[in-house]
Each structure stands twice: as C-alpha cells, then as structure tokens.
Structure 1
Amino acid sequence: MRTSQRPDGEPAPPVRAAIVGTGNIARLHIEALHSMPDQVEIVAAADADEDTLTSFGNRYGLDARYGDVEELLRGASPDLVHICTPPGMHRPQVLACLDTGATALVEKPPALSLAEVEEMAAAEGERGPWVATVFQHRFGSAAQRARALIESGELGRPLVAVCHTTWFREQSYFDVPWRGRWETEGGGPTMGHGIHQMDLLTALLGDWVEVSASAHQQARSVATEDVSLARVVFANGAVASVVNSLVSPREESYIRIDLERATIELTHLYGYGDDDWRVTPAPGFEERVTAAWKAGEAGVNSGHAAQLGHVVAAVRAGTAPPVTSAESLRTMRLVAGIYASAFQRRPITPTDLGPGSPFHGRMNGDGPRW
C-alpha cells in the first residue's frame, strides 16, 4: 500500500499517473494534473488512434506513448490510470488496471451497467488498488458547504427537490458511432449527461428508495431516449423531480432543494463557482441561515482539478480515492431505476435492480417500450 510518507518520515514520491484515451476530456485531466507537479508525475498516455495520441503527446510533452492500456501498464508501471475512453471500453480497461495493481479513475458513466460496475468493485483490493469515478460536481466548495449543512440538520429536514439537466445536442452530435446506442454508450441523457447532476443530488440527499419515470424519443434519431422525467423519493422523505434532456435550446443545469429553514439553489451549465449558488432563508431564520452559509467552505470551483486533488492525495496516502465504487453504484442504480421504471411502467426500488433484473445487466433491460 502506498503511503504519503516513507519510513524515514520524508514525503512519498509523486504519484505515477497515466492517461488512456487522449480525446477532448483527457485535456481536462492532464491540465488538472499539471497544476500539482510536486504530487504527480505524468508518465505515459495511450490511444488506439495514432494521430490523436501524437497530437496529445506533442502538446503536453509526453514521450511514452502506447497503443492500448495493456502496453501502457507493462511499459510505464503507473500508480494511477485515468480512463478517458468511451463508456463501452471502461470495464476491460479498468479491470486491466486493477489486475496490475494500478488504481483507476474512470470518466462517467463508469461502465455500461450495474453488473459491470459491480464486477469492477469486486476486483478492488481491500487496501487497493481501487476504482473511482469522475463526478467532479461534488467537489466545489459550495457543494461541500451545502452537504455539511444538510447533514448537520442546520437547515432542517429536506422536503422537495428539483434536478434538471436540460441541454441541447444537434443530430450531428450523435453521428459519432458510439453515441446514442445502448451497447456502446449505455443510454441517452439519463446515463451520459444528467448523471453528473443526479450524482450531486444523491451526494446531498443520500439514499433513494423509489423512482417512477418515463423516457421519450422526442426529436433525435437515436436508439436511446433523448428525454427522461422522474419522481424520486429519498430515504429521508424528500421527493425530487428529475429531468434529463438533450433537446432544450436554452441550456441549463439546475438543482433546488427546499428544506424546512431554507431553499438552496444551484444554476450553472457545465461547472459552477460559489456565485452560482443561492440560499433563501425561510421567514424567521434569516440571520441563522445566512450566518451558517457564510461560515462554510468557499473559493473552490467545481471541475476536474477540484476532484483530482483529492484523488491524488488519497493515492499517495494509500486510501480509497473519491468517488468510491459504492457511491458510484448508488448513482448508477438511480439511472438504472429510471430506465426500469420507464420501460416497465411501474415504480422501482433499489431491490428491484439485483442480478435477477434485466436492468442489472444492461440499462435498456428487456427492451424499451416507447
């Protein structure tokens, strides 16, 4: 197990990090890693597309370049591997990393199904290596502040919530061969886009106990949905409206949680800062709520850098990095629950999504009924 200090008390050497998949999202990873040079050494990159790999390697000064993850693992011996490939490739690449002792940090969605995520989680070691999922919206300071206030009970009991990811993607977006297909992307906006907002919602409100949903093909020529709508009930009694859309010309990401003593709101698009949050105290609680909100964490925007700082620190310390497989599974079960409810046309609980469910092995289950 790696530790943040050597036996002689000196700091541990930097984490040896590598990147698999050198498309657009990899840029966010490597630039975040470059912001912590004393903690990370970027040792290699891999991509099956030689031109993309060459361009990425030249841009970021990486000489060690490989055609696939297996070659990279043999040649570079990384401690941490960033999986930035399309979702259909995640499972085998993560398993390859874990098999050689490297912790894997995987882009969302972590895999195509609950079964695949559970297989990845089962391959983790008790003391590592681990698999973590990129859910960076959890790590902005305002989200940390909101979570602390909700968990402490300072704002009272959560009552009702809204979680909307209303984005816009033209048909040309889906011309990339792996997009809009169950077998390669795992789903539509519920799986690949709104999952960030839904993960933040579950991070703030905790376990969910029931979902009722519908899914629709409104405007895009795809095999998956382009819109879903859900009612989600949480274990703490809160009820939420969840909308995921790729057909909304005025794009917005929006979360609202109404508690007994305040309303918390977040309005942004692909990332937020402290100023994107708004807190409205209930009558009679103005001073108490305002003081509590101002006293919390501040100054950190959401984004890959915010989460990667925690991931690298955990790897250096030999502890499980966030977001853990257990937390990812809770969010993935909500995604699967929305699809199961929409296609089976009934309310779904987490216990309905075990190995005996068709939605355990694939998000479209036994086939959409549009």
Structure 2
Amino acid sequence: MLITPMTPSAPLAGRRIRAAVIGTGAIARGSHLPALAQLAAEGETEVVAAVDIDAGAVEAFCAEGRVPHAYTDLERMLAEQRPDLVTICTPPTLHREQSVAALRAGAWVWCEKPPVPTLADYDAVEAEEGPESGPYASIVFQHRFGSGSAHVRRLLAEQAMGRPLVAHCQTTWYRDTAYYAVPWRGRWQTEGGGPAMGHGIHQMDLLLDLLGPWSEVRAMAGRLVHDVETEDVSTALVRFENGAMATIVNSVLSPDEVSRIRIDCEQATVELTHLYGHSNANWRITPAPDVPGDRAAAWQDFGTDVPSSHLAQLRALVASMRAGERPRSSGADGRTSLELITALYKSAFTDTTVKRGEIGPGDPFYTALHGGAPGWAPAAAPVPTEVSA
C-alpha cells in the first residue's frame, strides 16, 4: 500500500498526540504501553493502534490495553490512522524499514535499542527526517533521563567537581543458553551484535551523555561460552576529547549481575550502581578529603527523585514534539553510541586503535558490525552492501 507523504502537523498544541505501538512483545507491554497510558491519563497522548505480524498477539494486546485498532500491516495502519508518534518494539533487523515507513508517513519515531544493526542503517533513517521541525527518529535511551543523571550531567558540565579524569563503565550480566534459543539473538544479521550492542549500549550511552565526545578506542572481544555468531564478552579502553580515560566491560557471562558507571574527577568520585534502572539512591558522590563540607553537601542535592524510565524519556519526547524541536537521543546525539560500539568491534577484530569519525561509507564495518573479519563474519555470508532506503 502506498502512503501519501505527510508534512508534520503543526497543531499538536491543544490536542492529544496520537500514538501507535509496533510490536506487542514484552517491552511493549511492560514499558511502552504503561508510559503511554500514564501520559494518556494526563491528557497528553492517546494510543490509537498497535501492529504485530501475529494477529492473535496484537488483538490480545489491544484488548488488554484498550487500544481501539489492531493491525498486522504497518503501512495500512499508517495510512488509515495517521499517528503522530510510532513506538517501535520489534527486533533490531526490522527497525530501519519500520522507522523509514513511519517517518515517510509523517510520524515521529521512538525506537527501542539497539537502534539499527549498522551505521549505514542509522544514516538511512536519519536521511528521512524532516529538515527543520520533524518528524524525527529517536532511540530509547531511558537511562539518560531522570533526576540522578540530570544532576550529575550538570555537575560535570560545569566542572563543579573539577575535571573528569578516569571512568569505568560496566555492564556485566548473565544470559543462559535458553536466552539464545530465541532465533534472532546472537546473530549479526538480526541482532547486530552481542552484549556490546544489545546490553551494554545503555551504560555506554549514559557514559557518553555524561562525559561528552570520545576520541579513540582500543578493544578486545571474545566468544568464551555461548555457541553464537557474536561475542559474549568485550573490553575496551576509551579516550575522551576532554582527556578522560575509561575502561568498558560488556558481558553476558557474569552471575553477579550489575550495571555500573564510576567517574573520578579532580575533587570527587561519582558512582552509579544499579541493574536495569536507577533512582537518586543509586548514585553516590564521594568528595576528596580537602573539599569543604558545604560544597560537598551541595553536590548531594539531587532534587526530587525522578527514576530513569521510559516514562521520563517519553515526557521529554512529547515536549520536543509539541515544540517542533529535535529530541535528545536522535540525530547525531543518538548516533554517538552506535558509532562507539562499531569502533569497538572494528578495534577488536582488526587489532587496531580506531578513532571517532573514521568509519564511513566504504569501510566494511559501516555496513556490518563484524566487518567481514575472519572468525567473526557468518560462514559463507558476504559483507552486506549499502542499499538505499
């Protein structure tokens, strides 16, 4: 079905934002729909439709969530319902096609991580965005949002605790063989990558959001336990433009699971320890011994506790939509984490240091995170070539 291209509707002010959910699995049920429902209760949104290739699944989702229209065809839904916002909750291999379709129909996009399998895919989606006031495609990076991350981001931007010097970023989780029995997991073509892409991306994105642009990375990756195409553990050394140096560990081999970021500044250490989401209580700031008490006390004032969540990010996205402004975690801001992950893989598989900005069209890692590297590329599978949207 052909969709007549839409221009972004100006009059979002004064009416509810019409939203549609694509994919009705666990993340849609557990995170997206509750966030949309909360904003609906506040008069901000209304969920007008859901789409899934499984007719029974989408009908059950709509019945449970009181969503009026169930579809198994995305383009038909876009043509008939004309949503303002589409939230994408499908496996990564579908994200590019679905994001492009939604943007061309005039809908803003909020897409689950990993955003798309490659930088080539990301750039193809971004090329479909509106030139000035949208629609834009943003990525679900909910760990950036909430009072704790906002407070620490502000302290670091102002260098209130001195220059950031040393950082550690850790996503050490545990996934068993049953987890990888899901057909699209552990495969380059459908998941994009292993724990660096599918698990550690949240903490790496938050680290970049706090510290700013990275400049170079040196990495290793291994396939130590699981019989998969991708890695199941990686480590990296990262240098930032501000001079800070960081270590990054991403693992699905770690029974004692934790997500952690630690940043040592000249006058204090900031540490976040959690698993899948954080509140003010998960942050700790330890001042250096010679820091005056009143100054250290000011650093501890995180304000009203707003936990990181899909709801917190959705609130910000809706505000951006109403203002006609590019939201956070979209465009270049959303691309930075994917670029770091791509560089991590290239460094690990080529035994080289990779600098920011060096991976572009013509580089094999631009179109596949394995880059065709011996021992990592799928057997008898050529490196994908870039195709137009």
Q: What is the TM-score with the length of structure 2 in the denominator?
A: 0.91
Query: In the alignment, what sits opposite 1:100?
Result: 105
Question: 1:291: how far off?
Answer: 2.8
Equivalent residue for 2:25, pick from 4, 23, 26: 23
Alignment check: 8 A CA contact 2:220 2:235 kept: yes
| Pairwise CA RMSD | 1.3
Say if 1:368 and 1:150 are closer, same or farther in 2 by CA, change over 3 A: farther
Give the Cα–Cα distance (whole angstroms) in 2 for the partners of residues 246 and 289 of structure 1: 40
Alignment check: 8 A CA contact 1:265 1:279 kept: yes
Equivalent residue for 2:278, pick from 248, 272, 277: 272
Say if 1:259 and 1:368 are closer, same or farther in 2 by CA, change over 3 A: farther
Question: 1:196: how far off?
Answer: 0.2
Q: Any residues of structure 2 matched to 1:210-229 within 5 Å, and which?
A: 210-229=216-235
Residue 358 (1) aligns with residue 358 (2): no
Residue 314 (1) aligns with residue 320 (2): yes
Question: 1:153: how far off?
Answer: 1.1
Q: Any residues of structure 2 matched to 1:180-219 within 5 Å, and which?
A: 180-219=186-225
Say if 1:12 and 1:146 are closer, same or farther in 2 by CA, change over 3 A: same
Q: Secondary structure at the match of 2:67?
A: coil
Identical counterparts, % of pairs: 47
Matched to 1:200, the amino acid is L
Give the Cα–Cα distance (whole angstroms) in 2 for the partners of residues 204 and 301 of structure 1: 17
Query: In the alignment, what sits opposite 1:81?
Result: 86
Give the Cα–Cα distance (whole angstroms) in 1 for the partners of residues 294 and 10 of structure 2: 41
Alignment check: 8 A CA contact 1:2 1:318 kept: no
Give the Cα–Cα distance (whole angstroms) in 2 for the partners of residues 68 and 104 of structure 1: 17
The superposition leaves residues 84-141 of structure 1 with CA deviations (integer Å, 9 ceiling, x where unpaired) of 1000000000000111111111000110100110111111112211100000000021
Say if 1:288 and 1:176 are closer, same or farther in 2 by CA, change over 3 A: same
Question: 1:231: how far off?
Answer: 0.3
Give the Cα–Cα distance (whole angstroms) in 2 for the partners of residues 258 and 2 of structure 1: 46
Q: Secondary structure at the match of 2:83?
A: coil
Query: In the alignment, what sits opposite 1:8?
Result: none
Query: In the alignment, what sits opposite 2:384?
Result: none
Equivalent residue for 1:42, pick from 38, 47, 54: 47
Query: In the alignment, what sits opposite 1:153?
Result: 159
Query: In the alignment, what sits opposite 1:13?
Result: 15
Matched to 1:30, the amino acid is L
The superposition leaves residues 196-236 of structure 1 with CA deviations (integer Å, 9 ceiling, x where unpaired) of 00000000001000000000001111100000000000000
Say if 1:185 and 1:154 are closer, same or farther in 2 by CA, change over 3 A: same
Give the Cα–Cα distance (whole angstroms) in 2 for the partners of residues 288 and 358 of structure 1: 53
Question: 1:317: how far off?
Answer: 2.1
Alignment check: 8 A CA contact 1:20 1:81 kept: yes
Q: Any residues of structure 2 matched to 1:340-359 within 5 Å, and which?
A: 340-359=346-365
Higher RCO (CA 8 Å, separation ≥ 6 residues): 1
Say if 1:348 and 1:202 are closer, same or farther in 2 by CA, change over 3 A: same
Give the Cα–Cα distance (whole angstroms) in 1 for the partners of residues 308 and 374 of structure 2: 35
Residue 33 (1) aligns with residue 36 (2): yes
Give the Cα–Cα distance (whole angstroms) in 2 for the partners of residues 356 and 253 of structure 1: 35
Give the Cα–Cα distance (whole angstroms) in 2 for the partners of residues 363 and 4 of structure 1: 41
277-286 vs 190-199, which deviates more? 277-286
Query: In the alignment, what sits opposite 1:329?
Result: 335
Q: Secondary structure at the match of 2:255?
A: strand
Alignment check: 8 A CA contact 2:328 2:334 kept: no
Q: Secondary structure at the match of 2:358?
A: helix
Alignment check: 8 A CA contact 2:285 2:300 kept: no
Alignment check: 8 A CA contact 1:144 1:297 kept: no
Alignment check: 8 A CA contact 2:280 2:302 kept: no
Q: Any residues of structure 2 matched to 1:36-75 within 5 Å, and which?
A: 36-37=39-40, 38-75=43-80
243-252 vs 315-324, which deviates more? 315-324
Alignment check: 8 A CA contact 2:350 2:373 kept: no
Question: 1:351: how far off?
Answer: 2.7
Matched to 2:326, the amino acid is A
Alignment check: 8 A CA contact 1:182 1:224 kept: yes
Matched to 1:104, the amino acid is V
Matched to 1:106, the amino acid is C
Return structure 1 stretches of 4+ with deviation > 6 angstroms.
Answer: none
Query: In the alignment, what sits opposite 1:122?
Result: 127
295-304 vs 257-266, which deviates more? 295-304
Matched to 2:34, the amino acid is E
Give the Cα–Cα distance (whole angstroms) in 2 for the partners of residues 204 and 62 of structure 1: 37
Query: In the alignment, what sits opposite 1:166?
Result: 172
